[in-house]
Amino acid sequence: MKLKLRCIFYPLFVLMMSLSEQNVVSAQARIVIGTNTAVYMRMSNGTQSTPICLVLDNASVLGISCCNACGAGPAGACPASGSLSWIVSEHQYNYVVWRGITATGTPSYLVPLGTTTATVATGYLPVTFKETAGTGTVVAISTWPSASNNTPWAGISDGLPGLGTTTVAPVTQMNINATDGSVGSVIDRWWDIDVNAATTADVTFSYRGAENTMTVSPTGLLAAQHWTGSLWNDGKGGAGGTKTPTAQSGNQGAATYTAVAAGLTEFTPFILVTDVAPLPVTWLDVSAECNKGDVTVKWSTASEQNSDYFTVERSYDGTNFTDIANVLAAGQSSAIKNYSFVDEDPIPGVSYYRIRETDFNSSFIISAQMTMNGCSNDDIFIFGSEGGISVNIDAAAEGKYVFELYDVLGQNLMNETKTVPAGSNHLKLFVSNIASAMYVVKVYSGSNAVSKKVFIRSAYTQ
């Protein structure tokens, strides 16, 4: 889908903004922000189908520049001392579009973005785009804050006019939890950066200290990750889970801070993550299903980076989980991997499962939670008795039930199928020469199943 461009074209060579706030959609040779008063240019109401674009045609790195009490004199780098000389985007579809960029001389194009916070120290969030190679001549940049769980996730990124028609699908997962995003390892800000041709660039991202709500190494080194439309990678064509490290540490102070990602070749949505716990596994699917009284837990990944092992966790209440099994992970993979585990002693009634992936550096992420309702049912009651088992079944309709008995070594001692009529039924099944001990009984009919450990007393005198 081609995006429409809503822009007002001003004939002035230099536009001097002197109002306290401007809702601006503009295109001209040069933009100078700030005169005798602190100002900022504000964009608003952009949508995916109709984005707001401030368009600049100028190859000079001072195409957007700032001054403070300089009148019509020269202007320099933003922000000028003491002024609010920047552009407010704060939404994915409020873009600054810079035409005329070049890799010649590797210039750094600074887009002076920020919030409506009243000081440079706490509200200035510039993005610097330094093209080091390639043929890109147009770059579009927007940035916006998110909640502590990184919602709302970035939407569709589509080709703006002059940027082609490449479409990148919306973000569908943050790899920590399918519903609440990566609370523990991602800065609460997004960046959408698009270029019109093959380009290699160094990008400087800015964020507010209050947006660093990470719980995993919040003041450790940061890294950048890029959304390809299906997974997170390093922005350089890497496999899922890769990242581009920066030399900057995270900061949770009251000011604004930066991180530089070098050599990026893929563009559109970016995030900043903690370098020790990037988003390493791309979950494709997790499920739990009943199979003859057992619960089969299955999961698959689209990619893995430094993954050591998976842990299957189970819970009675969906809050307090215990480990029930470990499964070796692939380590490094960009191909689909399928895993499974069979829980042969499931919890009666409703139970919950999830998968925890642990990296070689001991950091971990957790999958979406699965609810299991069908592998135990209160209308089936099993008791150990002398020489066998007693089973009470309150059947809603007539059906065939399978009765199985196993010793502690897993050896099958009984396998019988009986037709049980509708209503209340009491059945007693005997096993010849059975010793007094603990046994596992499984009773199932379709998805209606229960498994229980019982003590059976031998019918013979010892």
Reported as a single tens digit per residue, the pLDDT across 128-184 is 999 999 999 999 999 999 988 788 889 888 656 556 556 788 887 775 433 334 667
pTM of the model as a whole? 0.58
92 and 228 share one domain: yes
Among 16-25, 81-90, 177-186, name the most confident range: 81-90
Reported as a single tens digit per residue, the pLDDT across 404-459 is 999 888 888 999 999 998 888 999 999 888 888 889 888 887 667 777 888 898 87
Interval 59-77 mean pLDDT: 58
Quote the CA–CA distance of 65 and 421 in Å, as a whole number. 84
239 and 366 share one domain: no
The answer to whether residue 361 sits within a structural domain is: yes
Structure confidence at residue 143 (pLDDT): 95
Structure confidence at residue 145 (pLDDT): 95
The answer to whether residue 99 sits within a structural domain is: yes
Tokens of 439: 């046994």
Indicate the SS3 state at residue 79: coil
Interval 283-296 mean pLDDT: 79
Quote the CA–CA distance of 389 and 416 in Å, as a whole number. 12
Higher confidence at residue 77 or residue 444?
Answer: 444
The answer to whether residue 118 sits within a structural domain is: yes
Quote the CA–CA distance of 443 and 395 in Å, as a whole number. 13
Quote the CA–CA distance of 64 and 14 in Å, as a whole number. 10
Single out the residue in 372, 389, 420 at which a domain terminates: 372
20 and 89 share one domain: yes
47 and 187 share one domain: yes
The answer to whether residue 148 sits within a structural domain is: yes
Reported as a single tens digit per residue, the pLDDT across 8-22 is 333 223 333 333 333
The dihedrals phi and psi of 120, each to the nearest 5 degrees, come to -60, -40
User: How many domains would you assign to the chain?
Assistant: 3
Domain that holds residue 29: 8-274
218 and 259 share one domain: yes
Among 32-36, 117-121, 191-195, 358-362, where is mean pLDDT lowest? 32-36
Structure confidence at residue 317 (pLDDT): 84
pLDDT over 90, % of the chain: 28
Quote the CA–CA distance of 217 and 221 in Å, as a whole number. 8
Quote the CA–CA distance of 419 and 402 in Å, as a whole number. 9
Quote the CA–CA distance of 358 and 317 in Å, as a whole number. 23
Show Cβ contacts of residue 129 under 8 Å, excluding neighbours closer than 6 positions: 98, 101, 108, 109, 111, 139, 141, 193, 201, 203
Tokens of 1: 């889908």
The answer to whether residue 1 sits within a structural domain is: no
346 and 384 share one domain: no
**pLDDT band at residue 353, thresholds of 50, 70 and 90?**
very high
Among 257-261, 311-315, 372-376, where is mean pLDDT lowest? 372-376
The answer to whether residue 462 sits within a structural domain is: no
Single out the residue in 219, 239, 274 at which a domain terminates: 274
160 and 89 share one domain: yes
The answer to whether residue 461 sits within a structural domain is: no
398 and 266 share one domain: no
Single out the residue in 348, 372, 396 at which a domain terminates: 372
CATH number for the domain that contains residue 327: 2.60.40.10
Tokens of 344: 């042969």
* Residues 141 and 114 sit within 8 Å (Cβ to Cβ): no
Quote the CA–CA distance of 173 and 401 in Å, as a whole number. 41
Among 54-68, 136-150, 342-356, 388-402, name the most confident range: 136-150
Tokens of 208: 């507010």
Quote the CA–CA distance of 254 and 121 in Å, as a whole number. 8
Quote the CA–CA distance of 230 and 172 in Å, as a whole number. 8
368 and 384 share one domain: no
68 and 176 share one domain: yes
* Residues 440 and 413 sit within 8 Å (Cβ to Cβ): no
Indicate the SS3 state at residue 241: coil
Quote the CA–CA distance of 54 and 203 in Å, as a whole number. 20
258 and 322 share one domain: no
Interval 328-342 mean pLDDT: 86
260 and 345 share one domain: no
Tokens of 255: 């000011």
Helices (H), 265-379: none
Structure confidence at residue 162 (pLDDT): 52
Q: What is the DSSP string of 248-295?
A: EEP--SSSEEEEEEEEE---EEEEEEETTS---EEEEEEEEEEETTEE
Tokens 């699965």 belong to residue:
370
Write the burial class of residue 15 (CB in 10 Å: 0-12 exposed, 13-18 middle, 19+ buried): middle
CATH number for the domain that contains residue 409: 2.60.40.3080
The answer to whether residue 3 sits within a structural domain is: no
Q: Please give the mean pLDDT across all residues of the chain.
A: 79
Quote the CA–CA distance of 343 and 353 in Å, as a whole number. 10
Structure confidence at residue 190 (pLDDT): 96
Higher confidence at residue 53 or residue 204?
Answer: 204
Quote the CA–CA distance of 361 and 277 in Å, as a whole number. 9
* pLDDT over threshold 60, residue 68: no
Tokens of 180: 């609440």
Tokens of 70: 């300089």
